[in-house]
Chains A and B, each alone.
Chain A
Amino acid sequence: MTRDEIRDRVIQCLREVAPEADPAGLRSDAPLRDQLDIDSMDFLNFVIELDRSLRVAVPESEYHQLATLDGCVGYLAGKLES
């Protein structure tokens, strides 16, 4: 899966979690929580969506690597390669 494809999947997962927000207009390097006004429940739902969509179960200890869109893509690309 290419990085662009992973990015699309991440945005799709964010859209499921915050349908009234606009994930397509996200800044890649800024915190997702601030941009989408998501809380810990939203974030857990996002992690659940990633697990469903990409079969990557992100451990809690690695949540911090999903702080930004770029972070998500880099982290997931690494997981999918390994």
Chain B
Amino acid sequence: MPSLGADMAAGRLLQWLKSPGDQVKRGDIIAEVDTDKGVIEIEVFTEGTVSKLLAQEGDRVPVGTVLALITGAAAAVEEGKTPAPDTHPPAERRVIRASPVAKRFAAERGLDLADVKGTGPDGAITLADVEALTSRLPPAPSSEEETGGRLRRAIAAAMARSKREIPHYYLGTTIDLGPAVGWLSDRNRDRPPAERVLLGVLQLKAVALALREFPDLNAWWVEDRAVPKEGIHVGLAVALRGGGVVAPAVRSTDRLSLDDLMRAVRSLVDRARSGGLRSSELADATITVTSLGERGVDAVVGVIYPPQVALVGFGRPAQRPWVVSGQVVPRPVVTATLSGDHRASDGHRGALFLARVEEMLQEPGKL
């Protein structure tokens, strides 16, 4: 059971997606697990054959517990400790598409989603579908387990830890978005909707590229020092409709083209809200970007998600009077902020970083 955050102690195994005898490779999804952050797909990080499933569907499994054994050339299973392979033939498994809130609601009541008829997109099971089934059953065991409550508690734990342990410093700057907005408008004009790119993706890419020059901000605080991370995996704060927020990572954000980044972000947002986030996406973020401008705020000054050491916030792009070549003209501008961990970096470095993000956004064609 992987740790999907410093605050995670255990997860409940919802569904095995592989059976003993199945061949697996790196990146395959082997199981779905219910965590405080929603229903997460557990990936395989090796190649081989599933020899034994060690946890039962419905089990609550502590972090660090071995869920399954995989044998094969690349599998790292200690000799002499490998259980006898399960000789049962691989069973056919049907992947059930359901929203995270529906899966959790069902799991908390011990319901099998196979018994529920989905009425959502592509037959996906929605919360309403599960509620309709449970309306004939006894009520939920306790309000403690109410849907969304655990996510709230997980956020509370992480944010309280952050404010308790991380000495934040905060910086802000107003960035002229004229070049980025104009460039993007031209780029999107003749494209079908499915191929358009959002302004937020340009901001994300600018942050990722700037981080190449500021490894002290792309780091985790481990014990008593900042450990720079090799890859730049920007966590994107995604608000969930039922309340709460998750910040899954876009892997190698700096290496993706804008089109690929847009596809990755769309997929991530969709899966954060409808189910299917992968374990690595929740565990790998090296910095977080949050944008609350769409909710009408001019600026967001965020709380760093430990063990990360920085968070970038973008407010609402708005038309403001701006001086260009000595003339006051209307320009779209945005307030960008940096919340930094003062143990890992100083305000001077943070200021240089924000300035670099601003520079990046003045030349959108290079993003």
Contact = CB atoms under 8 A, between A and B. Distances in A.
B101 A51 contact: no
Given A41-B269, A60-B185, A20 B193 contact: no
Contact of A19 (B126, B199, B239): B126
Given A19-B126, A21-B241, A41 B266 contact: yes
Nearest to B197: A44
Contacts of A51: 192-194
Instruction: Name the interface size band of chain B.
Output: 20 to 34
Question: Which of A16, A18, A37, A44: most chain B Cβ within 10 A?
Answer: A44
Given A19-B120, A19-B121, A59 B189 contact: yes
Contacts of B242: 20
Contact of A57 (B193, B200, B270): B193
Contacts of A45: 266, 270
A58 to B, nearest CB: 7
A36 B306 CA distance: 31
Contacts of A59: 189
A48 interface: yes
Give the residue among A18, A19, A33, A59 with the most B Cβ atoms within 10 A. A19
B1 interface: no
B241 to A, nearest CB: 5
B188 interface: yes
A39 B200 CA distance: 11
Contacts, number: 52
B271 interface: no
Nearest to A47: B193
A40 interface: yes
Could you tell me the dominant secondary structure of chain A's interface residues?
helix
B241 A18 contact: yes
Contact of B188 (A20, A48, A60): A60
Interface residues of A, number: 22
B50 to A, nearest CB: 33
Contacts of B99: 19-20
A60 B185 CA distance: 8
A73 to B, nearest CB: 19
Interface string A32-62: 0100010111001101101100000111110
A15 to B, nearest CB: 8
Interface string B179-210: 00000010011001110101110000000000
A68 B189 CA distance: 23
Nearest to B196: A44
Contact of A48 (B120, B193, B274): B193
Nearest to B119: A19
B361 interface: no
Nearest to A56: B193
Contacts of B53: none
A44 B101 CA distance: 24
Interface of B: 99, 101, 120-121, 124, 126-127, 185, 188-189, 192-194, 196, 198-200, 239, 241-242, 265-266, 269-270, 273-274, 294
